[in-house]
Chain A
């Protein structure tokens, strides 16, 4: 009886398992990616299709100004909305003369509530616009729900 009990007491050989884990850790440490690189995908805002081929969908043009202001221009918006808001909306920059991204995101969210079919956002930077700000603007547009982004050359 006692002999049987002893034979059931099985020990797992952990040494080989630890060796395997060590090799795995070394390999993964060498191949690990510490900086996650992604991409912001945008379409060419100018060119591509001819005007006749292009569907008339509401689009929001975002013109970056050197003093941090952002001019929102509505293209193919419903007439009732443009009558109410006008064809452009100017967003002031912050005290430092930079873009007020919080206010920008808020305004975009408000516009999407008014025009739910609004999915296209086009960015028109200035020559002096910082690349980082162009990316941040597009990032905030995407976050607000504008999924079709485009960038316009100067």
Chain B
């Protein structure tokens, strides 16, 4: 008669049955086949899945952060959504990951504003811009972006930060 896995594992202790001096729970032949307790494994997997689901992002990768760039930290941050990204790194300005000369930031932003609305009509683009810079940068370097974005008609600035807490 075929025994269920529950019957096999619930009454015979693994430690006692493998004892050499006084084996309990059957002969040696039977003891060699050990049933793997799958319940705990399933529990562990379930916990892992729940934890990973919590840190899952459905919005995808919004911005590329290079290895050397450390974003400032903030506790009171909002959710970052897709907007035009202007990055300042190593003394250079990048709009949507394309290097832009310092004196051409305003013109490029103006052009990009029109292109972006045409490219992503589904996005709620309310004249916002994302500024991405290293935490140790001086404000004077970002001042140009703020000036240019104000002139180009961007009413809101989103400073990219790392959520802290």
Segment at the interface with B among A72-80, A87-95, A126-134 = A126-134
Closest chain A residue, CB of each to CB of B83: A39
Q: A136 on the interface (CB 8 Å rule)?
A: yes
Q: Which residues of B contact A31 (CB under 8 A)?
A: 56-57
Number of interface residues of A (CB under 8 A): 46
Check if B136 sits within 8 Å of A130, measured CB to CB: yes
Chain B's interface size range is: 35 or more
Give the chain A neighbours of B146 by CB distance below 8 A: 44, 151, 153
How far is it, in angstroms, between the C-alpha of A46 and the C-alpha of B151 when the chains are bound?
A: 10
* Residue of chain A at shortest CB distance from B59: A33
Interface of chain A, main secondary structure: mixed
A110 within 8 A of B: no
Q: Interface-forming stretch among B21-29, B43-51, B94-102?
A: B43-51
Spot the interface stretch: A17-25, A51-59, A111-119.
A17-25
A14 at the interface (CB under 8 A from B): yes
Chain B, 39-70, CB within 8 A of any chain A CB: 39, 41-42, 45-46, 48-49, 52-53, 55-57, 62-63, 65
Chain A residues near B138 (CB-CB < 8 A): 127-131
CB-CB under 8 A from B77, the residues of chain A are: 38-40, 139
B161 touches A135 (CB 8 A): yes
Residues of B within 8 A of A1 (CB): none
B163's closest neighbor in chain A, by CB?
A36
A143 to B142, CA, bound (A): 24
| Contact (Cβ within 8 A) B49 A25 | yes
A37 at interface, CB cutoff 8 A: yes
Residues from chain A with Cβ under 8 Å of B118 in the complex: none
Contact of B150 among A125, A135, A153 (CB under 8 A): A153
Given A9-B6, A18-B42, A139-B76, is A40 in contact with B159 using a C-beta cutoff of 8 Å? yes
- Report, nearest first, the 3 A-B pairs whose CB atoms are least far apart: A38-B77, A28-B52, A127-B140
